[in-house]
Amino acid sequence: MPLQGREWYLEGVDSRVPLVGLTAQEIAERLAPREDARWRAKQIAKWVYGKAVADFDAMRDLPATLRAELAEAFTVDPLTVARHAKSSDGVEKLLVHRGDGQVYECVLLPYEDRVSCCLSSQVGCPMGCTFCATGLGGFDRNLSAAEIVGQYLLLQRLTTRRIGHVVFMGMGEPLLNLDNVLKAIGLLHDEVGLSLRHITVSTVGLVPQIRRLSQTGLPIHLALSLHAARDEVRERLMPVNKKWPVAEVVAAMRAHQKATGRKVTFEVLLIADVNDSTEDAAAMSRLVRGFPCIVNLIPFNYVDTEQGFSRPSANRIRAFRGVLESAGVTVTQRVERGHDIAAACGQLAGEHVGRFAKRGVPVGVR
């Protein structure tokens, strides 16, 4: 019996509907009126999400006739890989698209004790942060839940180890695409089987959306790209601060921590002679101490934004960290990886030239 697909997916592209993005229940609805639709849908979802299989022929416990019907009506993935780069330190980065010429990035991050991945939520980003490679290219559109989860599955196929941690710190502002991000988180939890406590969402500080996320009660980890404790400094780096200044956005993060019981993280990108002084550190410690949180220091990874930004010296970074720790603030420092493959968000997309490149933004990498 013919399966229920969609009439079109993208004009001029494969018209079969991707299974990635559908729940097991939604797959069952598309298999109807087969009597075994619910059971077969569970099997298919296990192959697609649990085992990250991309080929119907590999779904060995399905009848050959069903596999043939599936191949006619569906594809597995919504995404195509435009470029695959692998770093000398094991980091792998994919530049992907869905057939519309708009590329975006995802990154595989293997560690000794775990495997993590970084996913994008938008094509480009509208927030205009002055230090960010993604922001250089402007904004095209939101990604669907299928395109978000599709990134995870493409990365999972690159490793025999299970990817157990997901961070939404790729291209885009996740809270501007909150509906699709929440649907993707649901798929990652319900279908892939990830713990919600191993999912991190990063934001530049959209206060209404932070409050909405708090109301869901999801025990995911929330990270704020804070970068400066003083409004005059943060406004230079992040235009969003003009709408939601430091005190307001930190208050929203405190409320989120109280609502969820999870520690929050404040990301601080240290830029030489901009926000890396001991005075900046003292202001940061006064702002964030007194509730469960972590300050994550990120020494600037060079991007040519025409701002003349540069990386602080090791001594300046050490001094900044010392001020925070002496005030009782929990501090971490990001392990930097993937420099040789332009692993900072937006860098690979900015360098990409070819059939699928639309952005055409030159990004310098050192």
- Please list, in sequence order, all residues whose beta carbon lies within 8 angstroms of the beta carbon of residue 259, skipping any fewer than 6 positions away: 214, 215, 217
**How many CA atoms are closer than 13 Å to the CA of 10, on its beta-carbon side?**
12
Residue-level pLDDT at 203 = 98
- Give residue 122's pLDDT: 96
User: Could you give the domains of the chain?
Assistant: 17-75 (1.10.150.530), 80-351 (3.20.20.70)
- In DSSP terms, 166 is beta-bridged to 117, 199
Under DSSP, is residue 140 helix (H, G, I), strand (E, B) or coil? Answer: strand
What is the pLDDT at residue 323?
A: 98
The DSSP secondary structure of 159-224, one letter per residue, reads: -SS---EEEE-SSS-GGGGHHHHHHHHHHIIIII---GGGEEEEES--HHHHHHHHHHT---EEEE
Whole-angstrom CA distances from 61 to 45, 67, 104 are: 12, 10, 34
Phi–psi pair at 154, nearest 5 degrees: -60, -40
Please tell me the predicted confidence (pLDDT) of residue 364: 28
Q: Which residues contact 236 (CB under 8 A, 6 or more apart)?
A: 130, 274
What would you measure as the largest C-alpha separation in the chain, in angstroms? 71
Crossing angle between the packed helical segments 178-187 and 145-156, to the nearest 10 degrees:
40
Q: Which residues are catalytic?
A: 105, 345
pLDDT the model gives residue 338: 53
Q: In 169-192, which positions are buried (b, 16+ CB within 10 angstroms) versus exposed (e)?
A: bbbbbbbbbbebbbbbbebbbebb
- pTM of this structure: 0.89
∠ at Cα 84 (21, 155), nearest 5°?
35
Q: What is the pLDDT along the chain (366 residues), one digit of tens a residue?
A: 445 443 333 444 568 899 999 999 999 999 999 999 999 999 999 999 999 999 999 999 999 999 999 999 999 999 999 999 999 889 999 999 998 878 999 999 999 999 999 999 999 999 999 888 777 778 899 999 999 999 999 999 999 999 999 999 999 999 999 999 999 999 999 999 999 999 999 999 999 999 999 999 999 999 999 999 999 999 999 999 999 999 999 999 999 999 999 999 999 999 999 999 999 999 999 999 999 999 999 998 866 667 789 999 999 999 999 999 999 999 999 876 555 555 554 444 445 444 334 444 333 222
User: What's the rounded Cα separation, in Å, for the pair 295 and 31?
Assistant: 49
CB atoms within 10 A of CB 237: 23
The DSSP output letter for 242 is: G
**What is the pLDDT at residue 138?**
83
